[in-house]
Amino acid sequence: MQFIKIIYIALFFNFFCIAFLGAQTPDKQKIIIYYFNDESATQNYRYYSYIIPDSLSAELKEKVEYEVTVLPVTFKYITSQVTDEEKANTIAILTSRAKEVSANFSVIGSYKVEKNTIYIKTQICNIATGDIVDAAETNEKIGALIYEIIDRITITINKELQKTIEVEKEKIAVSPYKNFYSSLKNISLCYSYNFIFFTGDWEKLYNDTSMSKISIGVPFSKIFTSNSAFINKLYLAPTWQLFSTNNRDLEHTYDTYLSIYMGGVSLSYIHTLSPLIDVAIAIQPGIAYSDLYIVLVQEGGPFAPYVKKNSYDPFLSVEINAIFYFYSIGFTGGFNYNRLFYKGNDLTATGINVGILYKL
- Provide DSSP, 121-172: EEEEEETTTTEEEEEEEEEEETTS-HHHHHHHHHHHHHHHHHHHHHHHHHHH
**Closest Cα partner for 206 from 257, 243, 254, 241?**
257
In the predicted model, what is the mean pLDDT of residues 139-144? 70
- Residue 17: how many CB atoms within 10 A of its CB? 10
Residue 275 banded pLDDT, cuts 50, 70, 90: confident
95, 109 Cβ separation under 8 angstroms: no
Residue 6 banded pLDDT, cuts 50, 70, 90: very low
pLDDT of residue 185: 73
Name the β-bridge partners of 295: 306
16, 90 Cβ separation under 8 angstroms: no
In the predicted model, what is the mean pLDDT of residues 243-260? 80
3-state secondary structure 40-82: CCCCCCCCHHHHHHHHHHHHHHCCCCEEEEEEEEECCCCCCCC
What's the CA gap between 152 and 9, in Å, rounded? Answer: 54
254 Cβ contact partners less than 8 Å away, ≥ 6 residues apart: 294, 295, 296, 297, 298
pLDDT of residue 104: 85
Q: What percent of the chain has pLDDT over 70?
A: 81
pLDDT of residue 4: 47
What's the CA gap between 359 and 100, in Å, rounded? Answer: 9
What's the CA gap between 221 and 233, in Å, rounded? Answer: 8
Burial of 350 from C-beta contacts in 10 A (0-12 / 13-18 / 19+): middle
**Closest Cα partner for 218 from 204, 232, 230, 229?**
232
Q: Which of 3-7, 26-30, 158-162, 333-337 has the lowest mean pLDDT?
A: 3-7
185, 360 Cβ separation under 8 angstroms: yes
pLDDT of residue 19: 44
What is the DSSP code string of 295-316? ESSTT--TTS-EEEEEEEEEEE
CA distances from 240 to 12, 105, 260, 262, 279 (A): 11, 35, 11, 6, 21
Question: For the chain, which domains are there?
Answer: 26-174 (3.40.50.10070), 186-359 (2.40.160.20)
Q: Which of 168-172, 277-281, 355-359 has the lowest mean pLDDT?
A: 168-172
Q: What is the mean pLDDT of the chain?
A: 80
> Which region holds residue 164: left if phi is over 0, alpha if psi is between -120 and 50, else beta?
alpha
pLDDT of residue 176: 57
| Burial letters 126-165, b for 16+ CB under 10 A, else e | bbbeeebeebbeeeeeeeeeeeebbeebbebbbebbeebe
Q: Give pTM, 2 decimals.
A: 0.55
DSSP structure class, residue 27: P
pLDDT of residue 177: 58
Name the β-bridge partners of 141: 117
**Closest Cα partner for 172 from 181, 185, 163?**
181
Residue 288 banded pLDDT, cuts 50, 70, 90: very high
pLDDT, one tens digit per residue, over 113-138 is 888 888 888 888 888 888 888 877 77
64 Cβ contact partners less than 8 Å away, ≥ 6 residues apart: 28
